[in-house]
Structure 1
């Protein structure tokens, strides 16, 4: 399965504060603005909790899930924010050691999360199950195909 498209870009900036759950807050932000092809451009901030699926997990073996608790800097957050968001995060601890993986949720903001969200205004992102990977994968369509 392969899909691609070109589009104009619209940029949205938002800040989330202490105690907010970042994934859910981003999804609410996207839904509230009816963004159809949103993605993370950049994010800086900190969290006190995170639940991540590590790279070794598969669709049938999701045992590689970690639950983090402590103070972590967000050093990278990337991905698409369609209804079935696909985000990867890299976090650093007080010693500068990093851990990263697929965001499952539970990203509790510590001090701030400053996020710049892009929207490919001429596209729509959806997800469809891919038999080859066992995961719902990104499908990119032009809005003229979906309107």
Structure 2
């Protein structure tokens, strides 16, 4: 289902070594009062990540990959409403890639340069979807503050 077009606001962040990427993004969203935030771009590196793999279901959530080492962030996409829904792709020192649904433990190695967007005319929330068994995105039109 398509939603209405929305005006856009953009924010740039740089996180330093040792920062928790997910927590830092969630904290920024709360502090800035964003209601429909999403990741536009992210480049940088991590030393750890916890990802849920594609084979997981609502009843089989143990398909989890714990990563430790040095990884380049190849892609980070998703929404950052109160229950963030992010997917991450990382490459290792040999260029091999792995990705999945972000569960946490995203520790920045050297930097994370992030561009966030907010749809100013929309509001994002999540509601449990009985068909998928997961909280899924709900997009609502909002009046401009």
TM-score (norm 1): 0.96
Match of 2:22 in 1: 23
Q: Aligned to 1:31, what secondary structure does the other structure show?
A: helix
1:4 CA drift (Å): 2.2
Equivalent pairs counted in the alignment come to 145
Partner deviation per Cα, 1:76-127 (whole Å, 9 max, x = no partner) = 0000000000000000000000000000000000000000000001110000
Match of 1:55 in 2: 54
Does the CA contact (< 8 Å) of 1:48 and 1:70 recur in 2? yes
TM-score (norm 2): 0.97
The gaps in structure 1 that reach 5 residues or longer are none
Match of 1:83 in 2: 82
Residues 1-147 of structure 1 correspond to what in structure 2 (within 5 A)? 2=1, 4-144=3-143
The gaps in structure 2 that reach 5 residues or longer are none
1:3 CA drift (Å): 6.0
Distance 1:5 1:53 in 2: 31
Distance 1:136 1:58 in 2: 12
Q: Which portions of structure 1, spanning 4 or more consecutive aligned residues, are displaced by more than 3 angstroms?
A: none
1:5 CA drift (Å): 2.8
Distance 1:24 1:3 in 2: 30
Does the CA contact (< 8 Å) of 1:3 and 1:140 recur in 2? no
Does the CA contact (< 8 Å) of 1:5 and 1:140 recur in 2? no
Does the CA contact (< 8 Å) of 1:5 and 1:141 recur in 2? no
